[in-house]
Structure 1
Amino acid sequence: MTSEPPISRFPVVPLADLPPDLQERFTEVADKSGFLPNVFAALAWRPDEARAFFALHDALMDKDTPGLTQADREVLVVATSAANGCLYCVVAHGALVRIRARDRYLADQVAVDWRKAPLPARLRAVVEVGVRLAVDPVTVTAEQQDALVGQGLTQDDVWDVGAIVALFALSNRLVHWAAVPPNQEFFLLGRVPRH
């Protein structure tokens, strides 16, 4: 029998010892999802950075815009996190793809090879330039960004694509650095009915 891996190589502060605003947020997240994602616990030992990270995450991910739904945003995270080899983000955001896109298979297809995944042309263009930005940023061109506008994205949406990729490049690397494992609960979310 194996034990659960530690949440982080760095200190993990008990919930009761966190600043009140983080305690409140973490309790709300745990109440809503049924568990606290490990990344919350891993980042919380540096409260100012955790607040900044989660504020930027919320500003970028918790909205639908003309060119990018919340599901599209999660697909972009899965594709770029897979390109960066980040198991935590692929598993956690794969669960969100399953829930938000109402598709049990799409996240796995995107994680393994987004080029073969059944993506609409608009989202395929988003993922293509997003993966390029994630792994070889100097090769991203203005023409590729302009092509996103041709696919129906606004300038705000185009900015969001770059900002999401940048935020999750940070997230991917911090999760690697701290060796944060995905919560077991993420593997089943969107695959089996919630009780």
Structure 2
Amino acid sequence: MAMQFPAITDTHRAFIETQKIFFTGSCATGTRVNISPRSTAHLHVLGPNAVAYLDLTGSGSETAAHVKAGGALTIMLCAFDGAPMILRLYGQGRIAFRGTPDYAAFLDRFHGGAEPAGARQIVFLTVDLVQTSCGYAVPFFDHVGERPTLDRWAQAKGEEGLRAYRAEKNTTSIDGLPTGFRDF
């Protein structure tokens, strides 16, 4: 049975910190819904009503476009081992692009100031509702490890190659919305 909470509890935080994957869901009026899987290695609980994750360069930037257009953002985690549970964080997103003070502060706090290969922006979520549900139908999966493919791809492209790629692929959504992305 689903339960709703106004904030992230200590139990929720502990659950988030033990998961290996999370999913973002976003949309804006008149757009397609975007759902993306992400590694929790870059997801951090900032407080009872705030989380953020380092977003790496990808083939699109739907979340940034949807957030810029005032759209909704949801983060979902589910247990693939141990006790079953699904946890959703609902709220409004905000993007901190490379070169901004919030981007640098996040890197300082969680990455020792170093920028991981392919990093492009930080996605902040101000959480206005936390919902848990049973997760009884979520299958068991074993976490084998992180894929090194994106890191190798980003390192091979180099900074100039990444800038060119992001300029081509990350400035508008598939529905033509601007993402606000600019490379510094």
Higher helix content, 1 or 2: 1
Under a length normalisation based on structure 1, what TM-score does the superposition of the two structures give?
A: 0.28
Under a length normalisation based on structure 2, what TM-score does the superposition of the two structures give?
A: 0.29
Higher strand content, 1 or 2: 2
